[in-house]
Amino acid sequence: MSDPKKLFIKTYGCQMNVYDSERMAEALGGKGYVQTDTADGADMILLNTCHIREKAAEKVYSDLGRLKPLKDLNPNLKIGVTGCVAQAEGQEIMRRSPLVDLVVGPQSYHRLPAMDDAIQTGAKALDTDFPEDDKFDTLKSRSKAKRGPTAFLTVQEGCDKFCAFCVVPYTRGAEVSRPADRVVREAQELVESGVREITLLGQNVNAYHGHEDGLAGLIWALNEVDGLERIRFTTSHPNDMDDALIEAHGSCSKLMPYLHLPVQSGSDKILKAMNRKHTAESYLKVIARIRDARPDILLSGDFIVGFPGETEADFEATLDLIRAVEYGQAYSFKYSTRPGTPAAEKPQLPDDVMDERLQRLQALLTEQQRDIQRSMVGREVDVLFEKKGRTEGQMIGKSQYLHATYADAPMDVLGQVRRVRITQSGTNSLGGELL
């Protein structure tokens, strides 16, 4: 029996890419590959890329350059680029980086085993189609191997919103939802392997239509899975927060009181230019309804600073919206162009203006985050413990509000939800006492 081949996957970007990397590793497992934590000595290296961040493609080319010495040492090493940059760049990757053996887009990675057969003969393999066959039908069932207590589960892919700054509709395609029965089956497989919390993933997850009652219907179906203790979902669009989903936040005990609901800007002029199809007022009304259903919910958001045409008044409107909502977490970025998107053709703001605005916005968001974390001191929360901490006897997990929380506890709390009284608030975490 031959020794297993070593597979190293570097994952960039979003949580969906983390899920995709897991499935790619499983797909190649049938070809004799075993995942490894280092590129050194690997038989295949995959760069699972993301196109959302600034200069994403150039960062991939830079990483490919750093892999050249490994290819020189081992001419049999196979190198592949997968994910959204692969989808967007296609043949250009092959042209610019001759050491690349395969390029595959995010909708075609179920074809990796066949592509491996091709590249082992010395051929190059490229697949950036949007295939008619469903990759999830082709992929084998999840491994029953023991795993950590949390997992991501993709339920929806693609987006039909066509925000002016976003490449997702071009790299991930149109919105597609997985049938609810298959999602529930995969969730059951994850629970059997030790998972207690599942985060449902989608580029626009609350537009999910694989259940007759939408995402709320899927959540209630997952609520019936024995052993599954927590459900989360990300990322959502304000226009798709329907009545049933809002009601689920108030009545489904397994649905955690945390919601990531991007708004991007507080200026109606900028929101229109972004093609967001909602206003600041309509967003705030959705937030009010969600808080009526679940008063203790912690809210997270996304913000783009310096979108083309943004004035100081537009930026101040964003700060006003942030003050009105009070975010417990948030992600904020300077606008950067994505080739092929409508906003890329518009005049760009000076970098120094964007830098200054981003600093002011992040200062406000940080202040809100710290205020909310300080308000947790003295409260009791439920923590799903996931791993050992840095000090002897310390364990770390996530509260129902997604706060990283640590406490002195025995090893047997790993994988369990335990009650913790919060005693201190740090920069990015909470400390407490196990009850």
- The more confident residue out of 249 and 142 is 249
- The more confident residue out of 94 and 305 is 305
Domain limits, CATH 2.40.50, in the chain: 380-434
- 379-407 b/e (C-beta count within 10 Å ≥ 16 → b): eebbbbbbeebeeeeebbbbbbbbbebbb
Categorize the per-residue pLDDT at 140 as very low, low, confident or very high, splitting at 50, 70 and 90.
low
- The more confident residue out of 17 and 201 is 201
Residue 212: Cβ within 10 Å count: 7
Phi and psi at residue 300, in whole multiples of 5°? -125, 155
H or E element, residue 358: helix 351-375
Categorize the per-residue pLDDT at 234 as very low, low, confident or very high, splitting at 50, 70 and 90.
very high
Categorize the per-residue pLDDT at 141 as very low, low, confident or very high, splitting at 50, 70 and 90.
low
Is 95's pLDDT higher than 80?
yes
Most confident of 107-111, 120-124, 157-161, 272-276: 272-276
What pLDDT does residue 404 have?
97
Categorize the per-residue pLDDT at 83 as very low, low, confident or very high, splitting at 50, 70 and 90.
confident
Q: What is the mean pLDDT of the chain?
A: 92
Q: Which of 259, 261, 283 is nearest to 271 (CA)?
A: 283
Whole-Å CA distances, 130 to 70, 90, 107, 164, 201? 32, 13, 6, 22, 19
Q: List pLDDT tens digits, range 242-274.
A: 999 999 999 999 999 999 999 999 999 999 999
CB 167 within 8 A of CB 215: no
Is 1's pLDDT higher than 60?
no
Q: Which of 298, 317, 177 is nearest to 232 (CA)?
A: 298
pTM: 0.86
CA separation for the pair 248, 264 (Å, rounded): 25
Dihedral sign from CA coordinates of 21, 22, 25, 27: negative
H or E element, residue 138: helix 135-138
Q: Which CATH class is domain 380-434?
A: mainly beta
Is 133's pLDDT higher than 70?
no
Which residues lie below 8 Å from residue 117, measured CB to CB, with a gap of 6+?
A: none
Token reading at 342: 């409508």
Is 384's pLDDT higher than 90?
yes
Q: Which CATH class is domain 5-127?
A: alpha beta
Bridge partner list, 383: 399, 418
Is 54's pLDDT higher than 80?
no
- What is the chain's alpha carbon radius of gyration, rounded to the nearest angstrom? 22
Domain limits, CATH 3.40.50.12160, in the chain: 5-127
